[in-house]
């Protein structure tokens, strides 16, 4: 995959200090992040009264508001030479827009403090190709999920809750089938599916703020949901021809049975409300 590297350095963002003028503090603190990895480099300012210096940090990488990587560590610095150079690779190929947040904390016998950093960068993909998968695929392949939950319409749903909602019948309430395709599209983008659908995903997200899951919208509100659903459904059904041909090829002499499974039960209004309260 071809990647375009955008590297940003930030000397200082937000800082918290003790009131001691001689307190330990970082000098020349430089933070970088790009499509390959991240680094935190600097020197702790100390004086003759400094007996120890401890530092720790947390780095989080997110895409579309969903954390995709996180790491943390701590170290005791040499007071005689209190330099530090932390860094690492993301461990994955990045594609699209990303945000990075870091919390750097330090303390000594003379004081303590924090630094907070935020930055963003974009990694180009070689091409807008690849497969996408339907709600049925994501329902039956929990091991393929890249995240443990999603926020839709301002409500965070765990993977377990989303799996339960995939079992809700799609007839009657347009918000249910729209929700199914919104979840599938979000997951498809996160696993490197084409991201041109992000606009429709954003429309669905905004729709669920005004019309929560299980609200049974009618009239123009229903028509709006239908239009968004159609865009997401078309995206989620991009074919992977080789995979589909392999799945559809029965063994010689075998009879491939088909099954029809009716929805076992309808979701109660109480269960819908309980999810929306989270």
Is residue 276 within a helix (H) or strand (E), and if so which, with residue range? helix 269-276
For the stretch 99-158, pLDDT in tens is 999 999 999 998 899 999 999 999 876 555 568 999 999 999 999 999 999 999 999 999
Angle at 37 between CA 33 and CA 42, to 5 degrees: 60
Query: Dmax over Cα atoms in the chain, in whole Å?
Result: 85
Which DSSP state fits 143? G
Q: What is the per-residue pLDDT across 48-93, written as a single tens digit (0 to 9) for each?
A: 899 999 999 999 999 988 899 999 999 999 999 999 999 999 988 8
> 181-190, pLDDT tens digit by residue?
999 999 999 9
- b/e for 37-64, b at 16 or more Cβ within 10 A? bbbbebebebeeebeebebebebebbbb
168 pLDDT more than 70: yes
Q: Which helix (H) or strand (E) holds 184?
A: helix 174-190
Please, what are the domains in the chain? 8-123 (2.60.40.10), 135-248+255-276 (no CATH)
């Amino acid at each position: 995959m071809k990647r375009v590297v955008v590297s940003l350095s930030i000397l200082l963002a937000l800082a918290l200090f003790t009131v001691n003028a001689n307190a330990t503090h970082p000098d020349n603190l430089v933070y970088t992040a790009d499509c390959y990895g991240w680094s935190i480099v600097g020197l702790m300012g100390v004086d003759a009264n400094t007996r120890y210096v401890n530092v720790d940090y947390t780095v989080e990488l997110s895409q579309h508001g969903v954390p995709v990587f996180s790491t943390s560590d701590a170290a005791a610095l040499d007071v005689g030479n209190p330099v530090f150079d932390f860094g690492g690779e993301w461990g994955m190929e990045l594609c699209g827009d990303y945000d990075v947040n870091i919390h750097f904390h330090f303390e000594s016998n003379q004081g303590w403090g924090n630094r907070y950093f935020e930055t963003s960068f974009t990694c180009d993909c070689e091409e807008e190709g690849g497969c996408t998968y339907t709600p049925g695929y994501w329902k039956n392949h929990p091991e393929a999920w890249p995240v443990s939950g999603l926020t839709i319409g301002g409500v965070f749903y765990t993977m377990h809750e989303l799996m339960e909602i995939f079992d809700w019948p799609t007839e009657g309430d347009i918000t249910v089938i729209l929700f199914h395709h919104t979840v599938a599209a979000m997951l498809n983008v996160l696993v490197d599916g084409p991201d041109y659908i992000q606009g429709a995903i954003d429309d669905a997200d905004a729709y669920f703020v005004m019309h929560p899951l299980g609200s049974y919208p009618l009239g123009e509100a229903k028509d709006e949901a239908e239009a968004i659903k159609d865009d997401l459904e078309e995206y989620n059904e991009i074919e992977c021809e080789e995979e589909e041909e392999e799945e559809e090829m029965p063994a010689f002499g075998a009879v491939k049975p088909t099954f029809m499974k009716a929805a076992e039960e309808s979701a109660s209004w109480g269960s819908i409300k309980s999810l929306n309260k989270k």
